[in-house]
Amino acid sequence: MERETPELAAPATFLREEEGASPESVRARFERMIRRVQAEVCAELEAVEGGARDGGGGGALFREDAWTRPGGGGGISRVLQGGRVFEKAAVNVSVVYGVMPPEAYRAARPEAAAAAAAGGEKAGPVAFFAAGISSVIHPVNPFAPTMHFNYRYFETEAPKDAPGAPRQWWFGGGTDLTPSYIIEEDIKHFHSVQKQTCDKFDPGFYPRFKKWCDDYFYIKHRGERRGVGGIFFDDLSDYDQETLLQFATECADSVLPAYIPIIERRKDIPFTEEHKAWQQLRRGRYVEFNLVYDRGTTFGLKTGGRIESILVSLPLTARWEYDHKPEVGSEEWKLLDTCINPREWI
């Protein structure tokens, strides 16, 4: 993949010229959606943080880095760190044209790659297009949960079906919550918003994608989940493109209603050094999952993606203690027990 070129300001579109002239294409509409959502989420987080673009408020603001690649594509990384409410918050969008080596294709499409291999085909390099928005928000207060969301559209670009990698399109994404403490009011609110969004399209979506989320964010070497879940889906192409584009849009638009009320309730709760230490231990679990198991991280690293954007999901601080075990029955133990034994929240 070509190296990125820093830009003083983001262009109107990151699509290649011939595609940018087709404003109603799925690629063009998805790019417009993710850039709109990025702007809305950043504006809302700055408002919660207490920052102001006119110089008042005193809270932290997002730093923006825009970049392009000579062959087309680019992205915008927006990062806020060291704030009063948010230790670190990142909201990134990208439009990428590239070529997947076989191992990256297997990471992106494990089921399809396995099926092709079972048929005796060996996948070669595959040209692809991908666009997406990805965000991770790590608050300062241990009683305010971390939230992650990611929505993406993907196409393989082979002009003919390449061996082991037929030309395909799919959507993926999800929104999930990672608290340090179980506050049922918050978790039930979060899951109820996910269910309401899913139910607009298919009543089977929420139970299907909730279980998928619990299964995906599993830290195998720890025997526990990263958090309390939400929804997650990948390789989704079993509906028409228009329906799934609208579904991804509705999911992205539900992020703020799901999360901001929780942050407003919890950002100013008093906490102790012990609460903070437990939050840092849970942040360590977050790092372990993202670096060892997350498909987006491994895909980005294998395809030569922009490293600062790939690793921006990691918290500013984390902690590891040897053989740490919370006291049975404690609030910390309740969180760990929930991560080991996922619950139904609604």
- Positions marked active-site: 148
Q: How many CB atoms lie within 10 A of CB 215?
A: 12
Query: How many residues belong to the chain?
Result: 346
Round to whole Å and give the CA distance between 111 and 115: 6
- Cβ-contact 137, 89 below 8 angstroms: yes
CA distance 107 to 116: 14
Residue written as token pair 């969008």: 93
Distance (Å, whole) CA 323 – CA 22 = 57
Cβ count within 10 A of residue 108: 26
**Pair 75, 66: CB distance under 8 Å:** yes
Residue where the block lists tokens 């269910």? 195
Tell me how many helices (H) and strands (E) the chain has.
12, 10
Strand order in the sheet with 63-68: 5-7, 63-68, 73-81, 86-100, 126-139, 146-156, 169-178, 229-236
